[in-house]
Amino acid sequence: MSAIPPQSKKSLIAGIVQEKIYNLLQQGKRLDGRSPVDLRPITITTGIVEKADGSSLVSLGKTKILVGIKTEIGTPYPDRPKEGSFTVNAELLPLASIGFEPGPPDERGVELARVVDRSIRESKAIDLEKLCLIEGEKAYILFIDIYVLDYDGNYYDPSVIAALAALVTAKIPKYEVVGGKVQKTGEYFNLKLQKLPFTTTFGLIRGKFLVDPQLEEEAALDVSIIIGVDQEGNIVSIQKNSPGLIPETILEQLIEIAQEKTNAIRNKFCEALNIVI
Amino acid sequence: MPLYFSEREIVLPGQLLSDNGNRGGEGTYVLGGMVYASRLGFATLRNNKVHVIAFKGAYIPQPGDRVIGIVIDVKPNGFDISLGRHLTATIRIPDKKEVQALNLKIGDVIYANVRESGLRGVYIDHTGRIKKITSGLLVSMHPLKIPRLIGKRGSMINMIKKESGCELIVGRNGLIVIDGPSPANEFAALSAIRMIDREAHSQGLTERIRILIKNILEGEKSVEG
Amino acid sequence: MKDSSMRLVKEDGTRIDGRRLDELRPLSIEIGVLEKSDGSAYVQLGRTKVFAAVFGPKEVHPKHLALPDRAILNCRYHMTSFSVDERKPLGMTRREIELSKVIREALESVVFLEEFPRTSIDVFIEIIEADGGTRTAGLTAASLALAEAGIPMVDLVAAVAVGKIEGQIALDLSDLEDKYGEADMPIAMAPRLNSIVLLQLNGRLTREEFKKALELGKKGIMEIYQKQRDALRRKYSEEALMEV
């Protein structure tokens, strides 16, 4: 059963704020001075947790996301004996918002983790076959753990950025197969990502849309949707993540803007991490 | 009776301020006949007492405070009003007809007076002094910085109103409604409020805010022109 | 990892990371790092990295949990999964639950809770990287977050761990020293009151050793206390200077 957990009820918003957000949007403006299609500033820092194999701290405006990656050796899934695997978890830390309660991840945290997981998995960003050591027996398992540290709206887009930043800069302990057994070599290797998928979050208010909603806007939205796109323009993930109606006729336009915005994020990402694609 | 601080010095919890235990004021505590700071803020001497004016902290309602609130629940005998993310106040009206006459619904914004604040909770005065606010930009700032926004005898707030061309309704609880002729005017007033929120304890603020508003509005004109 | 030939204390009295026995690791402090909380701080002590955030005083939900004469202080000490060598499973471990309690009690000792009846003050500590002394670094950060939130307190809390490694009393143990040493004793104080607000011992000490450890801990605590006060003053004097 999926009931609304008490803490995920839409935060109450004053009627005049909702009205103001809509009026501004009609004039192509927003509360923080952005245009409807402007993202907030992005900063990317990597390698901040030495005990993690890869780590990053990404901020999108005032929203801050911390991601760390740990590697373990495990058994490949029976249906994919030649592949390593990865798992994404996400926690909305109570430090981040008065609306986040301490406790095990609720449905919002699980949804965030799964949206990030799908964007990475379906775009085939990670070459999982390279993570297999002994077919059907031993393979690398990557744990990608996301923590929302400061929450001012839209944790989806920066979580994908942070997960990819941690993956791209990760130094994974290298194992080798000796006499049918795996052992640590003491060396490290880099994951070479095959794709860089990013997402764009859209909010709709009475048919008008905006990207990257900030906290107050989020509370005023009728409905929101996240669209993930890889560098070739393929759509790699979609999540309508709130109740409400999305006019079918607007989707085409949202996808076009998602392609544009994810390109902008990708350029910023590559510039920040010195990556050539 | 020596003091151990200079006027407007930044002091920290635990800092010794005076060795005369009778001079402890707001934001201080007395231990062993000495006055210490209990909060982070400016130390100041007023009426021979040592006070610490805290930089940040919760709003504690006082009877008579003008506050801005959001209706969060409608009940047969009154309303629940949010005064910010940490605090809820109550309006209780014995006469059900009066409740209906107020015609408030969830999400409405009101400007009203605190009648009572204490262990029983916070109660809003309902005797004809509730004003419904129907438009404008609702923003928040640290409640402790509201006096700075108002300024001496209203000097700061009046200057912001004049320079930005906006009406401002200020709630003592840290909520403010800005209502102006255009988004640009409202952004100018909002930027002024943000600056006060960040730099309330610095001096020469009034003049810098005047310049800030002017620059924003002129910048807007040159873009449009 | 430590192999059996490795010495925690070298002949010349220095430690694996080159410190003297009475030396703290490099400490850096930032105030007001998380914008959506009422107060926050980041503390880095060597490789140990900690965020702390405070919310409140705020209304208690559900209401019947509220205390009529004072605020409730809630505290959660938590580590990220990647903060430790072996990935920590999600959820609270017994260790995290215990540390949350003793940290809460340390903070309850200095906060004027009676000024805010029927409210709660929530303190959240998140360990980003754990290299020894996480509860004490967390407490150091939490007291700064409380101060920044404007919560009235008797004093800041400064904390450090002392311990015994290869027979010698040492200040501010790293993870390695904690693991292979003989004793670990986290201490937190309200320095102005010269009083202990947290004290635990894991290991064995003679009375003499305990006395020495407490003295050394106090020395470290005074250093940390000074840096805490510097960080708070710096934060607010920088803002006051922005006008020029």
Average pLDDT over residues B108-135: 90
Residue A32 near chain C (CB below 8 Å): no
In order of A32, A166, B169, B217, the CA distances from B187 in angstroms are 8, 37, 15, 9
Q: Give C110→chain B minimum CA distance, Å.
A: 10
pTM of the model: 0.95
Partner-chain contact A62 C58, CB within 8 Å: no
Least Cα separation, residue A68 to chain C (angstroms):
6
Predicted confidence (pLDDT) per residue in B98-118, tens digit: 888 889 999 999 999 999 998
- Which chains does chain A touch, 3 or more C-beta pairs < 8 A? B, C
Q: Are strands C72-79 and C119-129 parallel, antiparallel or unpaired?
A: parallel
Question: Residue C1 has what pLDDT?
Answer: 55
Residues 81-100 of A with CB under 8 A from B: 98
Would B10-54 and B66-133 be classified into the same CATH topology? yes
- Residue A205 clears pLDDT 90, i.e. is over it: yes
Judged against a pLDDT cut of 70, whether residue B1 lies above it is answered with no
The two structure tokens encoding residue A112? 């965030």
> Do the Cβ atoms of B12 and C147 come within 8 Å?
yes
Beta strands in C63-210 (DSSP E): 72-79, 119-129, 158-165, 168-171, 183-190, 195-199, 202-203
- Residue A208 buriedness (CB in 10 A; 0-12 / 13-18 / 19+): middle
pLDDT for the residue numbered B99: 87
Quickly state the pLDDT bin for B200 (edges 50, 70, 90).
confident
Indicate the pLDDT class of residue C6, thresholds 50, 70 and 90: confident
| Mean pLDDT (chain C, rounded) | 94
Cross-chain Cβ contact B82/A12 below 8 Å = yes
- The C-alpha atoms of residue C45 and residue C66 are separated, in whole angstroms, by 36
- Lowest mean pLDDT: which of A151-155, B73-77, B117-121? B117-121
Looking at residues A170-181, what average pLDDT do you find? 94
Flag whether pLDDT at C243 surpasses 50.
no
Name residues whose C-beta falls within 8 Å of residue A23's C-beta, 6 or more positions apart in sequence: none
Query: Which of C80, C85, C122 would you mutate first to test chain A, the one with the most A CBs within 10 A?
Result: C80
Question: What are the tens digits of pLDDT across the range A21-64?
Answer: 999 999 999 999 999 999 999 999 999 999 999 999 999 999 99
- pLDDT at position C3: 63
* A20 interfacial to chain B (CB closer than 8 Å): yes
C118-146: per-residue pLDDT in tens?
999 999 999 999 999 999 999 999 999 99
For the cut 60, the answer to whether the pLDDT of residue C92 exceeds it is: yes
pLDDT for B49 equals 95
Rounded to an integer, the average pLDDT of B48-64 is 94
pLDDT at B133 over 60: yes
Following CA atoms B41, B42, B44, B50 in sequence, which dihedral angle do they give, to the nearest 10 degrees?
20
C151 interfacial to chain B (CB closer than 8 Å): yes
Fold of B137-224: Ribosomal Protein S8; Chain: A, domain 1 (3.30.1370)
* Domain-wise residue ranges, chain B: 10-54, 66-133, 137-224
Q: How far apart are CA A129 and CA A135, in angstroms?
A: 10
Beta-carbon separation of A16 and B183 below 8 A:
no
* For residue B224, pLDDT beyond 60: no
**Cα torsion at A162, A163, A168, A169 (round to 10°)?**
60
What is the pLDDT, as a whole number, of residue C238?
A: 67
Q: Does C85 touch chain A (CB under 8 A)?
A: yes
pLDDT score recorded for residue C168: 96
**Are B38 and C112 a contacting pair at CB < 8 A?**
yes
* Domains of chain A and any CATH numbers: 14-273 (3.30.230.70)
* Confidence class for position C151, pLDDT limits 50, 70, 90: very high
Which residues in B lie closer than 8 A to residue C150 (C-beta atoms)? Answer: 39-41, 54-58, 144
**pLDDT at residue A6, rounded to an integer:** 47
Mean pLDDT score of chain A: 94
Q: Would you list the domain boundaries of chain C?
A: 27-241
As a whole-number percent, the residues of chain B with pLDDT over 70 amount to 97
Is the pLDDT at A8 greater than 70, yes or no?
Answer: no
- Kindly tell me if the per-residue pLDDT of B59 is higher than 50: yes
Closest Cα in chain C, distance from residue B192 (Å) = 14
Mean pLDDT, to the nearest integer, of B180-194? 94
pLDDT band at C232 (very low <50, low <70, confident <90, very high): very high
Q: What is the mean pLDDT of residues C219-226?
A: 98
- In angstroms, the separation between the Cα of residue C148 and the nearest Cα of chain A is 15
- Fold for domain B66-133? OB fold (Dihydrolipoamide Acetyltransferase, E2P) (2.40.50)
Mean pLDDT of C69-90: 96
In CATH, what is the architecture of C27-241? 2-Layer Sandwich (3.30)
Which tens digits make up the pLDDT trace of A209-232?
Answer: 999 999 999 999 999 999 999 999
Nearest chain B Cα distance for residue C49, angstroms: 24
According to DSSP, the residues that pair with A188 across neighbouring strands are A173
Span B10-54: which CATH code?
Answer: 2.40.50.100
ipTM: 0.93
If you measure CA to CA, which chain B residue comes closest to C153?
Answer: B38
